[in-house]
Structure 1
Amino acid sequence: MRVIERAGVAAVSQRVVAQEAGVPASAVTYYFPAIDDLLVAALADCNDDHLRRLDESARAPDPIAALARVIAESSDARRAHAAAEYELFLLAGHRPELEPEVDRWTTAVDAYLAPHVTDPVRRAAVAAAVDGLFLRCFVATDPPSADEVRALLASIIGC
């Protein structure tokens, strides 16, 4: 992810990743024969982190506020990381190898919201808002705070 954070997906190659990791290029090529394999692994790692954070948030006293904090964090020191993640997510529109990871994320968000939004159509709308709020938090000059994100989510959810 450090390569993508610094220079975008176009900069990813086995050689560049090997240099970043301090290992021989042959080691990277052995485990990741194609660039897409590297990209899938990077997106899977991001998803693992987000799903862990969602799981922790679901156990919080106020799960919607906890989700709002996770969303708002994409505007702070994680900004470059969030941009790299979005670049990978958008790339899934052109690279089918990435689609299972995008599906994994959307399934997790739906499951997170299910206890709070029982109507599936409304839940899909809230999930779309979650994705949009992540995007807004990392690109906005003046991103919404966790409290503002929570208020937006609460107004859509009705809680």
Structure 2
Amino acid sequence: MPDFLAPRSWKPMPRRHDPDRRDRIINAALAVIAEGGVAGTSHRRVAERAGVPLGSMTYHFTSMDELLREAFTRFAERVSERFTARLSAVVRREQLASAIVALVHEDLVAGPDDLVLTLELYTLAARKPAFRQITHEWMRRSRAVLERHVDARTAHKLDALIEGLFIHVSLDATPHGRDVTRDAVLRFLSP
């Protein structure tokens, strides 16, 4: 009998220890979403980007929605951390406008994909109510930090102003400068 037909004892393949695989998949999902949107995101594309076998996708995530929730939650937390860091440094109310200008022109656009990911999350939350929890939690965290400096009602409106300014600065064909942002914030905060 030729050697290749001889019975062999079966040995399981050793499992590769890869403790960062789940994190790589989540980060790869964010990169794929930034490139092609939620609609262009698939298990196969994410697995290829993460450099993992396709089977890892269903091992770590029961569905695409679960992966999207994890990815957008990570993204929202990352942006919230920048927001919190910037506004936590404010000691006096007079510093608040400068901090908000820095948020709009620096922190909220710190990553090259931040605008696209933000808008993709908003679109997904508008279409699928289950994703609104991510945006609600993100807004709650932002408002809580703002409430250290202004009352709750003002924090709610100021959060919306910051978001609008960020989108306009990011998308306008001729984006306004820091001076226009500062003026808008000061007008808003004046008694």
Per residue, is there more helix in 1 or in 2? Answer: 1
Distance 1:139 1:82 in 2: 9
Alignment RMSD (CA, Å)? 2.2
SS in 1 for 2:39: helix
CA distance in 2, matches of 1:26, 1:40: 19
| Runs of at least 5 residues in structure 2 that lack an aligned partner in the other structure | 1-29
- Structure 2 residue corresponding to 1:140, chosen from 165, 168, 172: 172
Aligned to 2:115: 82
CA contact (8 A) 1:44 1:101 kept: yes
Q: Residue 31 of structure 2 aligns with which residue?
A: 2
1:131 is matched with 163
Between the two proteins, the alignment pairs up a number of residues equal to: 158
Shift in Å at residue 115 of structure 1? 2.9
Q: What is the identity, as a one-letter code, of the residue corresponding to 2:58? A: T
Structure 1: tracts of 5 or more residues without a match: none
What fraction of aligned residue pairs are identical, expressed as a percent? 27
Q: Which amino acid aligns with 1:145?
A: G
User: Greater Rg, structure 1 or structure 2?
Assistant: 2
1:55 aligns with 2:84: yes
* Higher relative contact order structure (alpha carbons within 8 Å, sequence separation ≥ 6): 1
1:14 alignment partner, one of 43, 66, 78: 43
Alignment pair present for 1:115 and 2:144? no
TM-score (norm 2): 0.73
Q: What TM-score does the superposition give when structure 1 sets the normalisation length?
A: 0.86
The code of the aligned residue for 2:50 comes to: A
Summarize deviations over 1:110-147 as a string: whole Å, max 9, x none.
11221332151x33222221121121122112223344
2:134 to 101, 106, 125: 101
Alpha-carbon shift at residue 56 of structure 1 (Å) = 1.0
In the TM superposition, residue 77 of structure 1 has moved relative to its aligned partner by: 6.6
